[in-house]
Amino acid sequence: MSLVLPSELVVDRFLPTVRAMLAAELAERGMTQQEIAANLGVTQAAVSKYVSGESGGDDRFRDDPETVATVERIADGLASGGMDGYDALADLLSLVRSLEDRGPICELHEEEMPALRGLGCDLCVRGLDPEVSAERDVLATVRTAARTLAATPGMVDCIPNVGTNVGMALPNARDETDVAAIPGRIYAMGGRIEIPANPEFGASKHVATAVLAAGAIDPAVRGAINIATDDAILEAARAMGLDPLEFSAEYEDRGEHLRTRFEKRGGVPRVAYHSGAFGIEPATYVFGESADDAAALIGELLDEAMA
C-alpha cells in the first residue's frame, strides 16, 4: 500500500487549481498580472499561464461550490483591499479542512490510497483517538466476517432472496449509524457469494435493528447476521443446545418486538427466527458478541446440519 499524505494532494492538486482560479478572478476585477503575482506569491509568468488557462488544474475543485464561493470571496476582498493576506490564508485553511471532511481532497486521497475506501476515514478531521480506533476495529471485523461467510461450505444455500447482511455495533451504539454493515447486502450469484462493497456505518437498517435490539438487552451482543430460515439449521441449533427463539414476522416495530421477546426469554438467544408471512420472506438472525463470532457460529451450524 502506497502512503500518500493528504497534504501532498493539497500542494500538488488543490493549491495550483485555487491559485489559477484566484488569478482569473483577480484579473476580472482589474488587477494587473504583477499585482496578482504579488498577492499569490508566484511569478508573473505563472500568473500569465493561470489567466490564459494553460495551467490545467483539477476540475473537482473548479466545480466544487464551496471552493468557488471561497475563491470569489477572497478575490473580492483582495481586490477591494478589505482582506489582507492573513485573512485570505485563514479562509483557504478553513476551506482545506472542509474539503478534507468527505470532500474532494478526501475523494482524491481514497483514489491515491484505495485501501482507505469504505473505512469511513476521517483522520484529517478527528485525528487518532479511541473512537476512531473502535470504528476501524468494527469495520475490519465486519469485513472479516463477510469473507468468512463467503468461504463457508454450504453458506450459498443460506442466502435469502433479499440477501444476507453482516452487522456489528460500536460499544454503546445508539442508532443505525453506529452499526457497520455491507452496503447493498451479500447475494448468491451463480453458485457463489458476492460481497458488493466494503462495510460502512449506517449501511443496513434491518440488521442494525436486530443488533440494536440485542444490545439493548445485553450490551455484550454487538454482532448479527441474517440468513434464510431453514429447518435443518434450526435442528442443528437445537442439537447444539442453543434453543432457537421464534418471533413474529408481522410486526409494526421490529426493534420493539425483538426487545420484548428477548426480555421474556431472559436474554438474547444465539439464534432467533420467524417463518415468514404474506410478502415477508422467512428470516433467521444469528447473534454473537461480534460479527465474526456470529459468522463462526453459522459455520458450526452448517457443519452440524450437514453431519
Q: Across residues 277-285, what is the average pLDDT?
A: 92
**Exposed/middle/buried for residue 129 (C-beta within 10 Å: 0-12, 13-18, 19+):** exposed
Q: Helix %, strand %, coil % for the chain, to 5? A: 55, 10, 35
pLDDT level of residue 127 (50, 70, 90 thresholds) = low
Distance CA 300, CA 172 (A): 28
Residue 191 in grid coordinates: 453458485
29 CB contacts (<8 Å, ≥6 apart)?
A: 75, 76, 79
pLDDT in tens, 62-103: 999 999 999 999 999 999 998 888 889 999 999 988 888 778
pLDDT tens, residue by residue, 193-214: 999 998 999 999 999 999 999 9
Buried b (16+ CB within 10 A) or exposed e, 239-258: eeebebbebebebeebbebb
Interacting residues of 11 by C-beta distance below 8 A, sequence separation 6+: none
pTM (2 decimals)?
A: 0.62
